[in-house]
């Protein structure tokens, strides 16, 4: 069976490994001698000091964060987070797609306040934004996943743990008392996959997110160009614990199919959703297979370049699903107006990726909190100005499609 690597570092020599997907030996070559226990990259290995700050940060707009974070992040970590696949067309398209929709405000509506709270699969959120799963957070902050887990809980919203984390899923589970989902890159080893799913359930994760668009590492050329730059030493948090079970969380099943979705549901009994849906047909099939939600995503433009943005596909998917299950959308969200437009087009919640990691690099948990707080304030402002008193009143009537809007 084919073994593949996914959302992880590509070294100059590692690109060969990334593309030679059928060769597990090559595929592992970028990960020499890693310890099983969580371990932050060392200063020397990371090519500079990893950010380790814990402080409140001031934010004018989330768009400023990338440039600010670049000043404090290690070069490899920055390229890993900021980069996309190929020409990065899809990464840019994720931004452009929002600007094909304009907001139609409903003035004189007489509402003196707006309630931003939302609910997803029974979990109440301070507003309809959750933290997207992001692996290898040990390349961003010396405390690895902890700042993002804690900052997300401080903002009263939901954290999604990636199976490609440096901390163990159990450590992440107790790092905050906020709600969490577990995102799995399904390992090739069935016993190990079952073990991870059972551990996630036992640790209190409320749902399983099966990512299907990253069963091999794509052509992330910013990382490839960093030839000669030291690669941070990142441990795998979620290694097998059961005697006799072997496997590697970075070695993903290369021939995923629909029965893998059913496997996740049957093993846990938890709500399951597929992350990486980009068509009405796949959305409908996932629901037919028992999924409780649909996660529209192109992986932040990091996997298959030239795929559409989730926002472009959202109206079609929402029309096909007819409200049967909630829809999560991600990619290119920077503004409260983006959250509003996604909801108007049929999303239940939006997942935020890179800005969260920039917040972690700049200010640890307080930085992540500040990012989520800033976005919430902008969303609240948008709701107030658009005349929508609560999230359910944000409907398709509040957006219009335009061609060739300003960039």
Interface ranges with ligand FMN (CB under 6 A): 7, 80-81, 94, 132-135, 162, 164, 183, 211, 275, 297, 299-300, 302, 330-333, 352-354, 357
- Which residue's Cβ has the minimum distance to ligand FMN? 353
Beta-carbon contacts of residue 307 (< 8 Å; ≥ 6 apart): 90, 278, 298
Residues constituting the chain: 407
Q: How far is the CB of 182 from ligand FMN (least distance, A)?
A: 11
Nearer of residues 134 and 394 to ligand FMN, judged by Cβ:
134
Pair of tokens at residue 158: 């939901």
Q: Are 267 and 197 in contact (CB under 8 A)?
A: yes
Q: Are 183 and 133 in contact (CB under 8 A)?
A: yes
- 229 φ, ψ (degrees, to nearest 5): -80, 140
Q: How far is the CB of 232 from ligand FMN (least distance, A)?
A: 12
Residue 43, burial from CB neighbour count under 10 angstroms (0-12, 13-18, 19+): middle
Q: How far is the CB of 275 from ligand FMN (least distance, A)?
A: 5
Taking the CB of residue 395, how many other CB atoms lie within 10 A of it?
A: 12
Q: How far is the CB of 13 from ligand FMN (least distance, A)?
A: 21
Q: Annotate 281-292 with b (16+ C-beta within 10 A) or e (fewer).
A: ebbbebbebebb
Nearer of residues 286 and 388 to ligand FMN, judged by Cβ:
286
Nearer of residues 82 and 114 to ligand FMN, judged by Cβ:
82
Q: Which residues share a beta bridge with 210?
A: 184, 274
Nearer of residues 116 and 136 to ligand FMN, judged by Cβ:
136
Nearer of residues 159 and 263 to ligand FMN, judged by Cβ:
159
Closest to 41 (Cα-Cα) out of 75, 85, 6, 12: 75
Closest to 188 (Cα-Cα) out of 9, 27, 300: 27
Q: How far is the CB of 349 from ligand FMN (least distance, A)?
A: 13
Closest to 145 (Cα-Cα) out of 192, 183, 198: 183
Radius of gyration of the chain measured on its C-alpha atoms = 20
Nearer of residues 65 and 325 to ligand FMN, judged by Cβ:
65
Pick the catalytic residue from 111, 141, 198, 299.
299
Q: How far is the CB of 181 from ligand FMN (least distance, A)?
A: 11
Mutual orientation of helices 336-344 and 89-98 as an angle, nearest 10°?
80
Q: Does residue 299 have an active-site annotation?
A: yes
* Cα separation, 144 vs 175, whole angstroms: 11
Nearer of residues 308 and 353 to ligand FMN, judged by Cβ:
353
- 253 φ, ψ (degrees, to nearest 5): -60, 125
Q: How far is the CB of 133 from ligand FMN (least distance, A)?
A: 4
* Residues annotated as catalytic (active site), given as ranges: 299
């Amino acid at each position: 069976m084919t073994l593949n690597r996914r959302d992880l570092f590509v070294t100059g020599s590692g690109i060969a490994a990334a593309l030679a997907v059928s060769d597990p030996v090559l595929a592992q070559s970028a990960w020499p001698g890693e310890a099983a226990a969580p371990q932050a990259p060392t200063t020397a290995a990371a090519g500079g000091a990893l950010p380790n700050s814990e402080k409140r940060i001031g934010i004018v707009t989330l768009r400023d964060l990338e440039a600010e974070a670049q000043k404090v992040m290690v070069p490899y970590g920055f390229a890993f987070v900021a980069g996309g696949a190929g020409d990065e067309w899809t990464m840019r398209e994720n931004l452009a797609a929002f600007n094909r929709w304009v907001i139609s405000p409903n003035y004189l509506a007489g509402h003196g306040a707006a309630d931003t709270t939302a609910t997803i699969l029974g979990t109440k959120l301070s507003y309809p934004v959750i933290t997207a799963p992001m692996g290898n957070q040990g390349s961003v902050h010396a405390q690895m996943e902890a700042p993002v887990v804690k900052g997300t809980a401080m903002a009263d919203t939901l954290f999604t743990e990636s199976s490609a984390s440096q901390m163990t899923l159990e450590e992440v589970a107790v790092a905050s008392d906020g709600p969490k989902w577990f995102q799995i890159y399904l390992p090739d080893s069935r016993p190990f996959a079952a073990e991870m799913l059972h551990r996630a359930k036992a640790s209190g994760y409320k749902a399983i997110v099966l990512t299907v668009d990253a069963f091999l590492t794509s052509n992330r050329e910013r990382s490839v160009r960093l030839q000669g730059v030291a690669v941070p030493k990142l441990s795998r948090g979620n290694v097998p614990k059961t005697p006799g079970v072997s496997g590697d969380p970075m070695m993903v099943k290369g021939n995923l199919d629909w029965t893998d979705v059913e496997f996740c549901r049957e093993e846990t009994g938890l709500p399951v959703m597929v992350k990486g849906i980009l068509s009405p047909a796949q959305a409908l099939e996932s629901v037919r297979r028992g999924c409780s939600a649909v996660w529209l995503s192109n992986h932040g433009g990091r996997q298959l370049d030239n795929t559409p943005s989730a926002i472009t596909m959202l109206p079609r998917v929402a029309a096909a699903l007819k409200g049967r299950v909630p829809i999560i959308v991600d990619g290119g969200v920077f503004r409260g107006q983006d959250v509003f437009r996604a909801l108007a087009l049929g999303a239940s919640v939006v997942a935020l990726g890179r800005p969260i990691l920039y917040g972690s690099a700049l200010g640890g948990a307080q930085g992540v909190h500040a990012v989520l707080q800033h976005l919430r304030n902008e969303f609240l402002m948008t709701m107030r100005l658009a005349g929508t008193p609560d999230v359910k009143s944000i409907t398709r009537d509040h957006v219009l499609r335009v061609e060739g809007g300003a960039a």
